[in-house]
Amino acid sequence: MTMAVAPARSAGPAAPDPVAMFTSMVLIRVFEERMMELRTAGEVIGPVHPYVGQEAIAVGVCAAMAPADFLVSHYRGHGHAIARGVDLDALTAELFGRAGGLCGGKAAALISDRRTNLLMSSGIVGAGVPVAAGAAMAAQVRGEPAVSVAFIGDGALGSGVVHETLTIAAVQRLPLVLVCEHNGYQAGNRTEEVYPEVSLLRLAEAHRVRAVGVDGNDVTAVAAAARDAVEFARGGGGATFIEAQTYLTRFHLQFERPSPEVRPADEMAAWRARDPIDTARQSSPLRDRLSDADVETIWEQARERVEHAVETARSCAWPAPEDAATHVWAEES
């Protein structure tokens, strides 16, 4: 067993501001809708996996993280990146395949960003989880107070490496938080058709990992659950598995056209009625602080910010052909 050094105590971030979280959710929504339009137009490179309907999870979780904490995302990761504070111009340029992008135009949606400790966005289901655990173990051994957070979908619980990592996390008491965005589907397959147990909490508990369920469409509830999990990990308590129940209100992915919709219309309508942005707008913290005019201003500012990012991306150069083989091998600094 790895000999762990007790982490230094570190104050986490201040309690999240409801207006800031609402604003971040709106920005993610506007960005995702615009990227789908631009993918249809052929300006965005590669597939787009929209995050529409799940914004409360990214925003609530990232609001609980400190700057030094690590983040691991997946292929549906634009929302995670924006909530974490990744530069929107550079993110958009990356999706356009331009040299000014976060990864020089080579990654498309599978980005990383050293500035915000976004370690990776894995295109392989579940593959980012051991990377997050490795970052958690490194921090633990060094005696650093950093926590590692990984987002996964419910499909990742079918990956063997996720279960292996949960076992290691439990035994080592790693400062790790796994956030499962349980939207009920794995591409076109319903979760209950794939797993013998609908409650994913029991799968985590089987590995003796602390497991917590939360309404993934309630950003305040998500932020509270994430803050508790991060503080638990930072204090040496070990890993937490958060199951955030949510719904993807747009399609699974888009190339030139969206993937076919196979979900029942009444199910989709019921979840759209629980939209996380509308839910936040009607919550008590915001009803008294934001007028309708304030809300419209937030939407308009988000649209302006996204359009600025789009125009910036369009003005960026394409990667030079001679750079195709760069960033393949580690280089001495």
Domains of the chain, first to last: 18-315 (3.40.50.970)
Identify the DSSP state of 124. S
pLDDT digits (tens, 9 = 90+) for 214-233: 999 999 999 999 999 999 99
pLDDT > 60? residue 8? no
Percent pLDDT > 70 in the chain is: 95
Q: Which long-range contacts (CB under 8 A, 24 or more apart) does 90-93 make?
A: 91/309, 92/31, 92/35, 92/306, 92/309, 92/310, 92/312, 92/313, 93/309, 93/312, 93/313, 93/316
Burial of 242 (0-12, 13-18, 19+ CB in 10 A): buried
pLDDT at 31 over 50: yes
pLDDT of residue 285 exceeding 90, the answer is no
Mean pLDDT of the chain: 91
154: which DSSP letter? G
Q: Which tokens go with 150?
A: 């990984």
